[in-house]
Structure 1
Amino acid sequence: MDDTLVDVLAGHRRAGRGDRVAVVDRRRSVTYAALEREVTRRTLELGEAGVGPGTRVGVVMTSLLDSVVDFAAATSLHAAVVVLQERAAETERSAALADFGAELYIADGLVTRLGPAGPGGAGEPAFAVTSSGTSGRPKVISRQWSGTLRNSAVFAQGLDLDADDVVLTTSPLGHSYAIEAGTLAVLSAGACQVVPPGPLTPAQAARLAERHRPTVLQSVPVVLDWWGRSEVPRTCTWKRCVSAGDALPAHAVTAWHDAGVAVHDHYGNSELGQLTLAPAGGGGTVGHPLPGVGLTAGDGEPGPVRARFPGLSPVRMAAGRAEPLADADGWVATGDLGVFGDDGLRLTGRSDLIINIGGNKVSPTEVEAVLRDLTWVRDCAVVGRPGPSGECQVWAFVEAGADDFDPAALRRWARERLMAVKVPSVIRRVDELPRTGSGKIRRGLLMEGDG
């Protein structure tokens, strides 16, 4: 397999696909041949600035093509690269750079030295991301570059991407899902990626779709649901959608299926990349492992989900030092709980978010699935919080209109379908749940708020 993105781009040019569009941003588009030239030129510039094999580099990923060029050039120089989110607070970005031990920092086309250069060629090529931080401070996860590129190619094959596809990616490129299941997967397949300038309203999405005629939507449940309630599913000839980052409720899929668009649910994580892919509507599972991915989980009862992929041995970076996350056999604990059956992996929640009510274990995922079945519940999040006497209680935060919100009806609904211990003690209406840039619910904020 090609080892660098310059190799990947050159391979498409040699195969006669050099004149095909590779990436589109709000300012311009670039073909595979032109992108190869831009990346090659940028590698010379970054090399002169001190980027080389194993150099630890932070690259801010924006919605502009120029940051894709920076990323491709730095990785093609065999550097160790951490991608940083454009919308991250300065304190978060600085902490990530310090944890990674970054020597250089690339943002807005400028290269800034942060620390002395390490021994030439001493480090290994690597790809690193910051976790989404849904329940705490974001962590820096680093893994081998070649295995990351191979994993993205496997995902592209599983999604059946080809050179005729145009992929609209809604999540910011600084998130692992967008750059790995998006940019790297798209480039491996010789397809085209459309990168919008930021969150799009359904009307903006419809105009963009009319202009670029995307065939694949790569997004998250909240966007699929929002756009699905508009005319976006019928704006162009979508072949399929793929969703990741959070549980995919049935109502988020319905409008797309009604328009004849296939929807796939995808499970991945910051430690190992892309793990499963399956058509949505298959009984609540996220499907079977992608080729080469190993997965274990509970048998009959929820148990810890562990995963591995050849050539990936992820580490957590802290103060420039690496803490291995894989055991001796390459298995990594994902932090999720799940059941593995004939229909694939069914996720039941995060192990660190399980709520203990008097010795009874309550899965937020199970409670949320019940509450989302109420038609007026747009979305919800369930967390454990201390009650007046310090005892743990089940709290439900519900996205709903003020006129529709009926906590008594919601509690009756839950009592008819759940054990008494799992019925929320406290129910709060919110206009919008707090989310990360990739659409995940920031549960930590709900667990720590004042009410």
Structure 2
Amino acid sequence: TAIVDVDDPQQEEITFADAEYCTTVLANSLLDRGAQPGTTVGLLGRNSRAYAETIVAVSRTGADLVYLNTGSSAEQVAAVCAAHDITMLIRDREFADLCPDTVLTLGLDDPAGIPLLDCMPWSGDVSAPRQASKHVILTSGTTGGPLRGAARTTAPLDSVAALLNTFPTKVGGVTLLAAPLFHAWGWMHHRLASVLDSTQVLLRHSDPERILALAQAYEVDTIITVPVTLKRLVDLPEDTKRRYDFSSVRCVAVSGSAIPGDLATQFMDDFGDVLYNLYGTTEAAYATIATPEDLREDPHTAGRPMPGVRIEVLDRKGRAVPKGKDGRVYVRSRTSISEYMADGTRGSIKGMVPTGDIGCIDEDGRLTIKGRADDVVVTGGENVHPAEVEEVLRLHPGIDDVAVTGRPDPVYGSVLVAHVVPADDHLTDDELLDWARRNLGPHHRPREVRRVAELPRNATGKVLRRVLAGEVTIDELDEEDLL
């Protein structure tokens, strides 16, 4: 079996032969409608059989493919289409209202507009295109360009080979993809599973109990997801966790945002030492990996560099900082992308790609990510990383989740604001502020508490701090902020 689309009403399992036939039919359909080398196709949808087959079909035409974020507004979709010269947009039914009139629209899962998956007749094999299709994954970089994308023609083989030396995934296995395929993290593992002839179980929405049920039903050995899903799994009732057989799972791999607090330890205590934390960028693919052993020693670590990858932590002047000291994280590897689509690369130093993250390297060579460089709050002349404050606040039993932002202040320049998801109704603001005074240094203490029902997050679980701070609404965010 090549693909299991668990959200398909028929729960259909697609063989490799079926997938080959369907992608050939789709490629011919796209060629008939103008897809060819030199043109650009956009793809807007959730994980599904149709989405995965469309990736392959577009590749076979030689057209470039831009992956759009499912959290985008109509304005954001139009801006990406314009910036990347998209002339054909393939989308799920639920996103029909987001498509601009300036592009040809094809339906992934319905006959609205021009149908794509409508049992089109076989029209012969597809010749190899004269040039390879580029896959453009929009990045979440720090240089300010709202429409940047990193272009790849294939999954980087150096990264794949290095990963397989550490990662217990296997040829012909079963991979549950509970991370979005439009993001580099999900896309890379979709490509990896294809290379390994693995069965891909595709999940549109990441429901924790459903993940356990699917792992048991399909004897999944690898789960690809994001850190926020770990918390949802840990928070399941104990009888729910015990209801499912998780023994086939050899690897739960997460990426996209930092693992908060002692969540890694809690997860492994509940589900076994199968957790792997990978850190990377759209531009440089996999950079570091933390094994279960690493995470037992340090639950916050992003791990050690992959073979062929160089990590440096530099100050603002591009000088290396001492071990254990914070600085800006730069990555260089044989798979680094040194130019972006739609605008240029800025901020690289000696061929090293800026990740936009603040971090440090310990004496054992392990990287820890402290947060985004643009999240730092300067209060009273001191640089404060919100993640450091959040780690302490999460220790309070009355807090279920928390994020820290800054707000302008006439005396300190900025002060910290704690956006709290309470665990119950008993926690008062005064109690929390008093607790913070006793457990945090003067510059790290929040001066205000704001209660929220949930934290706004993007597709990979990163908190949307600008939305929390009231600087923008979700609809006003740039496309890259949603990644």
TM-score normalised by the chain length of structure 2: 0.78
Q: Secondary structure at the match of 2:469?
A: helix
Could you tell me whether the CA contact under 8 Å between 2:170 and 2:196 is conserved in 1? yes
Compared with structure 1, are the counterparts of its residues 378 and 49 closer, same or farther at alpha carbon in structure 2 (3 Å cutoff)?
same
Could you tell me whether the CA contact under 8 Å between 1:339 and 1:346 is conserved in 2? yes
Q: Secondary structure at the match of 1:139?
A: coil
How much does 1:361 deviate? 0.8
CA offsets per residue over residues 6-65 of structure 1, 9 Å max, x none? Answer: xxxxxxxxxxxxxx4344342222223332332233223323322223432212232221
Q: Secondary structure at the match of 1:146?
A: coil
Per the alignment, residue 322 of structure 2 pairs with 299
Matches within 5 A, 1:46-125: 46-108=30-92, 114=103, 125=133
Match of 1:241 among 249, 252, 263: 252
Structure 2 counterpart of 1:429, one-letter code: R
Matches within 5 A, 1:334-413: 334-341=355-362, 342-387=364-409, 391-413=413-435
CA offsets per residue over residues 359-396 of structure 1, 9 Å max, x none? Answer: 11111121111112223322211111113668311111
Compared with structure 1, are the counterparts of its residues 281 and 233 closer, same or farther at alpha carbon in structure 2 (3 Å cutoff)?
farther
Distance in 2 (alpha carbons) for counterparts of 1:240 and 1:291? 20
Q: Secondary structure at the match of 2:297?
A: coil
How much does 1:210 deviate? 3.6
Structure 1 counterpart of 2:278, one-letter code: H
Compared with structure 1, are the counterparts of its residues 404 and 176 closer, same or farther at alpha carbon in structure 2 (3 Å cutoff)?
farther
Matches within 5 A, 1:300-315: 300=323, 301-315=325-339
Distance in 2 (alpha carbons) for counterparts of 1:66 and 1:147? 20
Compared with structure 1, are the counterparts of its residues 58 and 278 closer, same or farther at alpha carbon in structure 2 (3 Å cutoff)?
same
Matches within 5 A, 1:24-39: 24-27=5-8, 28-39=12-23
Structure 1 counterpart of 2:456, one-letter code: P
Could you tell me whether the CA contact under 8 Å between 2:254 and 2:277 is conserved in 1? yes
The alignment status of 1:226 with 2:235, answered yes or no, reads no
Structure 2 counterpart of 1:130, one-letter code: L
How much does 1:71 deviate? 0.9
The alignment status of 1:285 with 2:309, answered yes or no, reads no
Compared with structure 1, are the counterparts of its residues 416 and 108 closer, same or farther at alpha carbon in structure 2 (3 Å cutoff)?
closer
Per the alignment, residue 10 of structure 1 pairs with none
CA offsets per residue over residues 282-307 of structure 1, 9 Å max, x none? Answer: 32210012222221114331111111
How much does 1:406 deviate? 3.9
Structure 2 counterpart of 1:223, one-letter code: T
Compared with structure 1, are the counterparts of its residues 420 and 57 closer, same or farther at alpha carbon in structure 2 (3 Å cutoff)?
same
Distance in 2 (alpha carbons) for counterparts of 1:185 and 1:414? 45
How much does 1:138 deviate? 5.0
Gaps of 5+ in 1: 1-19, 116-120
Q: Secondary structure at the match of 2:344?
A: strand
Per the alignment, residue 118 of structure 1 pairs with none
Distance in 2 (alpha carbons) for counterparts of 1:390 and 1:227? 40
Structure 2 counterpart of 1:168, one-letter code: L
How much does 1:122 deviate? 10
> Would you say how many aligned residue pairs link Structure 1 and Structure 2?
421
Q: Secondary structure at the match of 1:194?
A: strand
Matches within 5 A, 1:62-211: 62-108=46-92, 114=103, 125-131=133-139, 138-146=146-154, 148=156, 151-152=159-160, 154-180=162-188, 182-200=189-207, 202-211=208-217
Distance in 1 (alpha carbons) for counterparts of 2:144 and 2:399? 26
The alignment status of 1:266 with 2:278, answered yes or no, reads yes
Could you tell me whether the CA contact under 8 Å between 1:266 and 1:286 is conserved in 2? yes
Distance in 1 (alpha carbons) for counterparts of 2:72 and 2:345? 26
Compared with structure 1, are the counterparts of its residues 44 and 154 closer, same or farther at alpha carbon in structure 2 (3 Å cutoff)?
farther
Compared with structure 1, are the counterparts of its residues 155 and 412 closer, same or farther at alpha carbon in structure 2 (3 Å cutoff)?
farther
Compared with structure 1, are the counterparts of its residues 285 and 146 closer, same or farther at alpha carbon in structure 2 (3 Å cutoff)?
same
Identity over aligned pairs, percent: 26
How much does 1:434 deviate? 0.7
Could you tell me whether the CA contact under 8 Å between 1:147 and 1:310 is conserved in 2? no
Structure 1 counterpart of 2:50, one-letter code: D
Q: What is the RMSD of the two structures over their aligned residues, measured on CA atoms?
A: 3.2
